[in-house]
């Protein structure tokens, strides 16, 4: 299918600033879904609050635009109650790791089959450029006129420590690499994290004198290197890109299925006549 078949054209043009990296991520994500040949009815996208979160309105999937930081908690309810659905959860850096940090580490710990995409532009864009937990020290922001003193999280290390079974990083400069990684993340059984470094020329770029969108993209090219590459070996200060973790680990919904089987078996032995499978009856309206 064409990319336009995955978007709700009724709601375009989108609300992101010119030069924002988020549209690139949307494009990469839709290409990944398309190349995997997934049924649109089988995909639920949940998002939180912020520039990044508006992505869920633009896609022609089941979409749940929720509360700041809580997208993964909502997604957990959707996934566990209907495990056959594919859950895509794009989040901003503040959304995922400040207000949503607790939900993030616990979703990773459970290894529930959800794909978390962190659209990391190192700033709160929608509220006007405040520093985020991924800004790092020495940066300027509207709440750090004298520069930040807060250290940043390393999303990759944090995800691995919390128990995510697939962890990767790319940038909006490396779009084809993004598509590839997103495909692997979506196919992965378990909690997958993809950090995509994105650019906010309006706030972060302007305040930190990183130039326009093109210059910021150049910066992503210059300051990152592929895992296992010569460049990374020669200059360990570069930010590594690629797939850091991809392991098989027990997935939460599958483990819960086993619990249900055990519970039903024990009850069957006690009460053999009891009838199971009490699914809600479908009733239709008369309209």
Partner 1 sequence: MTDNIKTDENVIKTNNIKFVQGNEACVEGALYAGINFFAGYPITPSTEIAELLSKRLPEKGGKFIQMEDEIASMCAIIGASLTGHKVMTATSGPGFSLKQEALGYACMAEIPCVVVDVQRGGPSTGNPTHVSQGDIYQARWGTHGDHAIIALTASNHQDVFEITVDAFNLAETYRTPVILLFDEVIGHMREKLVIPEQGKLPIVDRLRTSVKKGVDYHPYLPREDGRLPMSDFGGEHRYNVTGLFHDMWGFPSNNPKVVRELLHHLIDKIDNNAHAITRYKEHYLEGAEYVLISYGSSARSAIHLAKNRRERGEKVGVLELQSIWPFPEALVREKCANAKAVIVVEMNMGQVMKEVKACVDNPSKVFLANRIDNKLITPTNIKTLLRMIQGRGV
| Binding positions for partner 1, rule: CB under 8 A | 8, 10-11, 40-42, 44, 46, 56-57, 60-67, 70, 73-82, 84-85, 102-103, 106, 256, 259-260, 262-264, 266-267, 276-287
Q: How far is the CB of 49 from partner 1 (least distance, A)?
A: 8
Contact 6, 59 (CB under 8 A): yes
Question: Which single residue is written with the structure tokens 């590594």?
Answer: 240
3-state secondary structure (DSSP) of residue 104: helix
Tell me the C-alpha distance between 120 and 194, whole Å.
10
Contact 58, 22 (CB under 8 A): no
Q: How far is the CB of 117 from partner 1 (least distance, A)?
A: 18
Q: How far is the CB of 32 from partner 1 (least distance, A)?
A: 18
Please give the span between the terminal C-alpha atoms of the chain, in angstroms, as a whole number: 33
Contact 242, 231 (CB under 8 A): no
Q: How far is the CB of 3 from partner 1 (least distance, A)?
A: 16
Q: What Rg, from alpha-carbon coordinates, does the chain have?
A: 21
Residue 209 or residue 270: which is nearer to partner 1 going by CB?
A: 270
Residue 158 or residue 197: which is nearer to partner 1 going by CB?
A: 158
Residue 2 or residue 280: which is nearer to partner 1 going by CB?
A: 280
Where are any strands of DSSP class E within 31-114?
43-47, 62-65, 86-92
Question: Which single residue is written with the structure tokens 């006549």?
Answer: 273
Tell me the C-alpha distance between 102 and 96, whole Å.
9
Tell me the C-alpha distance between 167 and 156, whole Å.
6
Q: How far is the CB of 192 from partner 1 (least distance, A)?
A: 18
3-state secondary structure (DSSP) of residue 210: coil
Residue 237 or residue 281: which is nearer to partner 1 going by CB?
A: 281
Residue 42 or residue 151: which is nearer to partner 1 going by CB?
A: 42
Residue 80 or residue 160: which is nearer to partner 1 going by CB?
A: 80
Q: How far is the CB of 264 from partner 1 (least distance, A)?
A: 6
């Amino acid at each position: 299918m064409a990319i336009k078949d995955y978007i709700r054209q009724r709601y375009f043009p989108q609300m992101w600033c010119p030069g924002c990296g988020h549209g690139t991520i949307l494009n990469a994500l839709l290409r990944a879904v398309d190349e995997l040949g997934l049924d649109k009815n089988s995909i639920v996208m949940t998002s939180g609050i912020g520039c990044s979160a508006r992505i869920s309105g633009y896609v022609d999937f089941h979409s749940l635009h929720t509360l700041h930081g809580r997208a993964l908690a909502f997604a957990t309810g959707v996934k566990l109650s209907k495990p056959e659905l594919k859950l895509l959860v794009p989040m901003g850096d503040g959304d995922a790791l400040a207000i949503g940090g607790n939900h993030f580490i616990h979703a990773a710990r459970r290894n529930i089959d959800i794909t978390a995409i962190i659209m990391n532009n190192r700033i709160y864009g929608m509220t006007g450029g405040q520093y985020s937990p991924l800004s790092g020290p020495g940066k300027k922001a509207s709440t750090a006129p004298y520069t930040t003193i807060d250290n940043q999280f390393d999303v990759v290390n944090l995800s691995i420590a919390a128990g995510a079974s697939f962890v990767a990083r790319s940038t909006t400069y490396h779009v084809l690499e993004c598509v590839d990684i997103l495909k692997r993340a979506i196919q992965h059984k378990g909690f997958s994290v993809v950090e995509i470094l994105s650019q906010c020329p309006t706030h972060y770029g302007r305040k930190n004198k990183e130039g326009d969108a093109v210059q910021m993209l150049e910066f992503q090219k210059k300051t990152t290197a592929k895992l296992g590459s010569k460049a990374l070996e020669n200059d360990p200060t570069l930010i590594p890109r690629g797939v850091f973790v991809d392991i098989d680990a027990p997935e939460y919904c599958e483990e819960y299925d086993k619990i249900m089987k055990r519970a039903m078996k024990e009850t069957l032995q006690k009460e053999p006549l009891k009838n199971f499978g009490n699914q809600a009856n479908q009733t239709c309206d008369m309209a």
